[in-house]
Amino acid sequence: MTQPDPKAAPSQNLIVDLGPLVLFLLTYWLANVWVATGVFMLATLSALIWSKLKHGSVSVLLMFSGVMVLLFGGLTIWLHDETFIKMKPTLYYAMVAGILFFGTLTKKPTLERVMAHAYPELSQQGWHLLTRNFAWFFVGMALLNELVWRNSSTGFWMGYKLWGALPLTFLFGAINIPMILRHSTSADETKEA
């Protein structure tokens, strides 16, 4: 499966990646978890279709996340049990961590296949380290999601998704920037010059 055009406007990619989640949270605060889950599913399906029409393909991560939203959202509405939509992030994080750990064990950093366009000059050692770091990060996020949804109200969990999980992800990405710069092939060329 080909990846979406890396030259696409970052704001468009951000809307596709985060738009459904933002709509889910806003709808929850305006209505309830059942309506919000339906909106989440529709927004996710729209993001998948838009990505396919705009780029000619859907990224692996967007497809993976989309299938999980549709599956767990469907179970949430069908069984009228919000547990399923709360468990979705845990299973998503755990599966992504497993895929990333598999990549590090087989010396084929799976993160490179998804994010090569973002860091085209990252060395193989850099990809290995970034893949390992994100694998452990997703383990932590899975455990944190379990801790939050099992020990708090739905409203608190929704707030955590917006004010906890998203900032933690951006912060973790920022923390890895110095390592990325150290393992950039352009940094190696600068040292040799």
List phi, psi (to 5°) of 107.
60, 30
The answer to whether residues 162 and 181 belong to one domain is yes
Chain-wide mean pLDDT for the chain? 88
Sign, CA dihedral 160-165-166-171, equals positive
- The 3-state DSSP class for residue 56 equals coil
Task: List the structure tokens of 84.
Answer: 């399923």
The answer to whether residues 88 and 74 belong to one domain is no
Of all helices (H) and strands (E), which one includes residue 116? none
Nearest of 70, 46, 69 to residue 58 by alpha carbon: 46
Task: Please compute, for residue 189, the number of CA atoms within 13 A of its CA located in the half-sphere on the CB side.
Answer: 6
Q: Are 94 and 138 in contact (CB under 8 A)?
A: yes
The answer to whether residues 58 and 91 belong to one domain is no
Whole-prediction pTM:
0.84
The answer to whether residues 154 and 92 belong to one domain is yes
The answer to whether residues 162 and 143 belong to one domain is yes
Nearest of 95, 50, 99 to residue 68 by alpha carbon: 95
The pLDDT assigned to 12 comes to: 61
Task: List the structure tokens of 176.
Answer: 């890895």
The count of structural domains within the chain is 2
The pLDDT assigned to 112 comes to: 87
**pLDDT tens column, 47-105:** 999 989 988 888 888 899 999 999 999 999 999 999 999 999 999 999 999 999 999 99
Q: Which residue range is the domain that position 68 belongs to?
A: 1-80
The pLDDT assigned to 16 comes to: 79
